[in-house]
Structure 1
Amino acid sequence: MKIIVTGGAGFIGTHLTRRLVGHGHDVIIIDNESNSSRASVPAGARFVFGDVTKPEELEPVFSQGADAVCHLAGQVSIIRAFDNPIGDLRTNTEGTINVVRVCLAHRVPRLIYASSMTAYGDTDVVPTPESEPCRPDSYYGITKFAAERYVHATAERPDLECPLAVTSLRMFSVFGPGQAWDNPYQGVLGIFLGRIQRGEPITIFGDGEQTRDFVFIDDVIDGWLGALENTDSTAGRIINLGSGRPHSINELAAKVLAAHGIPEGEYDVRYAPTRPGEQRRVQADISLARELFGWQPKTSFEEGLLETMQWAGGTGPGEDANGLTAQAETTIGERT
């Protein structure tokens, strides 16, 4: 298949592109390199500089035709969305609308959208199924959910000459080799690793008892491929991709410290006030993905942590992590 991957030079996009190329697909990446680099593009994929907020930069690529689009391009920092809500809206919602419109204009039959766990907001139903009403309470979650609704409302239009089969994958906290170190929510593991390897304090916002569902990158890519390869069962569906297992941020910090051989209480762990948009309890109900295309995460958190540490290159406090930049938790930026 000929597949366009927006945001394909970022963390998830790079892993997805590498797998698609390995499966023999013809892959074209569109990325504006705002939080990524074409240097990370896997061999065998074609790179085109382009911004989803600018339809004129999408048009030349889509006009060449495609069998499917994997839309990952976006702004994923929750804090940055509060600082610049218009920019967040333009990238995540308007950018998605632009992608949908060029799909329709050039009769692309398949679109998979990178949605987010933040669409649910602070829900009482945990583990959370896809049927749970969405009440996003962060600006970022609002823009991702709005884009998701545009995608599905478009696919449901009866007047389309060429139907667009869409699937939204609500990803939870994806981690693994190659991830950005400056996303203060989904990248919290990377931030902790970087700080420990540089011997810098860890900062936990709130009491640390908020939970996250950390899912390893290889499992997430399995989910994307499963959705792509099973259009009949996944078209029109919204599907969670998580591990189904919760970890508190305190637990995460303890596991990362233990993996570095640091005894409990012997590292500088600091606490700061809770930030806006914080979800208290996060855990995916992943039964639908299992039912639709047999998806099941294979990598335990501990196995994924070890592989991520090996990729980073550092083994203890103060050691160089092969150029790893441990940026402050308040640093903003990302890729997806």
Structure 2
Amino acid sequence: MKIAITGGAGFLGSHLTTAYLDAGHDVIVIDNLNNGSVNAVDPRARFYQIDIRDEKLRAILANERPDVVSHHVNQHLYEVPLAQSLLDADTHIRGLLHVLDSCVNASVRKFIFASGGNTLYGPVGEEHLPLSEETPLQPRQPADISRAAGEWYVRYYGQQHGLTHTILRYADVYGGNGKVNNPHPLNYFLHMLSEGRRPIIRGTGESMHDHIAIDDVMQANLQVLTRGNNQTLHISRGEGYTLKQLYLLAAQALGSDIEPVYISGALAEDSAIVLDNTRARQVLDWQPRVSLQEGITHLLRVQQQAQDSLNQQPQFAQVSRHSSLAHV
């Protein structure tokens, strides 16, 4: 199967590229490298450095004729100023529409849309957890508003143009191979503690979210190639952990007694979100297999490998790398 991945040089997209290639598929990566890294792109894939809003995208898809387009263009993970809301919408709504039009023109068979998960829903009482896909959305930040609107545009193209689709609402994804930075709290806590520095927790640390390992996300995406047509699915663990709990697990794994720094603020509102993955289990014949403890062990191994590689570099390279990590 030939698959084009928009945003294929980013965190999720680069892992997805390798997962598809390892499964024997022909993969095309499309990315403008604003939030990705060319070094993260698997060399077995064909890479096009281009913005999804560029008119050349239409010609690329028409020439390549992929069977599937997986839209994993990176969105802002944190709050953005109001002045940037227009830029966010231009990239993630107008850009999405250009990709969808190009897919219809190229007779793409299926479109996979990476949406949000935890941050699409408003805070609810724990008695209402876990949340199903039918729970009303309450997006409050530009990136989440774009995702919610994007879902409806994807469904519209399915109805009007017969474009088969699957919408994936991800829980917070942790893990990775270290080639592209992942700002998930676990990655952050382990990095800070391993350097002997105090991590920052905004708010009380009682916010509860659903978290899932990158390997489980990749398995779900492999299943989606042939299943889950015209469905909206939670790709989640179905379990909630607070920031405090994540920090304690990271500290225990490293044997650290460093205390975090708590910073209060209006943007640090406590919430409790857990995503019901029953539909994904049934429709995709999939289930998350990596426990949080196993995921932390893997992360520590990746960090150690990165450190060992760093130690083998010349001294001037070590200084440069350390300087960049300090600003993660």
User: Does TM, normalized by the shorter one, top 0.5?
Assistant: yes
1:26-65 matches, cutoff 5 A: 26-52=26-52, 54-64=53-63, 65=65
In the alignment, which residue of structure 2 is the partner of 1:202? 199
- The question of 1:282 aligning with 2:281 is answered no
Rate the CA distance shift 1:215–1:182 in 2: closer, same or farther, 3 A: closer
User: Partners of 2:268 and 2:138 in 1: how far apart?
Assistant: 11
**70-79 vs 217-226, which moves further:** 70-79
Aligned equivalents of 2:269, 2:305: Cα separation in 1:
30
Give the SS at the match of 2:44.
Answer: coil
Distance 1:320 1:257 in 2: 24
Name the counterpart of 2:253: 259
CA-CA distance at 1:314 after TM superposition: 7.5
Once the 2 structures are TM-superposed, how far is the Cα of residue 277 of structure 1 from its aligned partner?
7.7
C-alpha deviation, 1:308, in angstroms: 1.0
Preserved CA contact (<8 Å) 2:197 2:258: no
Change (3 A) 1:56 1:275: farther
Q: Which runs of 4+ in 1 moved over 6 A?
A: 319-322
Q: Map of 1:128-277 to 2, 5 A cutoff?
A: 128-157=131-160, 160=161, 163-178=162-177, 180-181=180-181, 183=183, 187-230=184-227, 234-262=228-256, 266-274=257-265, 276=267
The answer to whether the aligner puts 1:126 opposite 2:129 as a matched pair is yes
CA displacement, residues 111-149 of structure 1 (integer Å, 9 cap, x when unaligned): 000001122233443211101111112222111111111
Aligned to 1:78: 78
8 Å CA contact 2:168–2:233 kept in 1: the answer is: yes
**Structure 1 position 177, deviation (Å):** 2.0
Residues 243 and 284 of structure 1 are in contact (CA less than 8 Å); yes or no, is this contact kept in structure 2? yes
More helix by share: 2
For the Cα contact (< 8 Å) 1:210–1:280, is it kept in 2? yes
Establish whether residue 291 from structure 1 lines up as the match of residue 282 from structure 2: yes
The 3 A distance-change label for structure 1 pair 248 and 315 is farther
Instruction: Classify the secondary structure of the residue corresponding to 2:225.
Output: helix
- CA separation of 1:275/1:176 partners in 2, compared to 1, >3 Å: closer, same or farther? farther
Point out where structure 2 has 5 or more consecutive residues left out of the alignment.
Answer: 313-317
Checking the alignment, whether the CA contact within 8 Å between 1:182 and 1:327 is kept in structure 2 is no
Task: State the partner residue of 2:89.
Answer: 89
Offset at residue 327 of structure 1 (A)? 4.9
- TM-score of the pair, normalised by structure 1: 0.86
| Alpha-carbon displacement from aligned partner over 1:163-196 (angstroms, at most 9, x marks no partner) | 200110000110112365464xxx2222212211
> Residue 313 of structure 1 aligns to a residue in which SS?
helix
Query: Structure 1 residues 182 and 307, CA, compared in 2 at 3 Å: closer, same or farther?
Result: closer
Which of 69-78 and 116-125 deviates more? Answer: 116-125
| Whole-Å separation in 2 of the counterparts to 1:167 and 1:129 | 16
Change (3 A) 1:292 1:26: same
Q: Is the 8 A contact 2:190 2:300 kept in 1?
A: yes
Contact preservation (8 Å) 2:129, 2:274: yes
User: Shift of the alpha carbon at 1:61?
Assistant: 1.6
SS in 2 for 1:14: helix
Aligned partners of 1:177 and 1:312 also within 8 Å: no
Structure 2 CA distance, aligned partners of 1:315 and 1:40? Answer: 14
Q: Residues 2-21 of structure 1 correspond to what in structure 2 (within 5 A)?
A: 2-21=2-21
Say if 1:205 and 1:275, in contact at 8 Å, map to a contact too.
Answer: no
* 1:279-323 per-position Cα deviation (integer Å, ceiling 9, x unaligned): 60121100001111211000000101110111011799xx98985
Distance 1:182 1:320, change over 3 A: farther
Q: Which amino acid aligns with 2:297?
A: L
Query: Per the alignment, in what secondary structure is the counterpart of residue 204 of structure 2?
Result: coil
Find the residue that maps to 2:245 and give its secondary structure.
helix
Which amino acid counterpart does residue 195 of structure 1 have in structure 2?
Answer: M
**Secondary structure at the counterpart of residue 167 of structure 1:** strand
Paired residues, number: 313
Superposition RMSD in Å:
2.4
Say if 1:272 and 1:119 are closer, same or farther in 2 by CA, change over 3 A: same
Q: Which structure exhibits the higher relative contact order, with contacts defined as CA atoms closer than 8 Å and separated by 6 or more residues?
A: 1
TM-score w.r.t. the length of structure 2 is 0.88
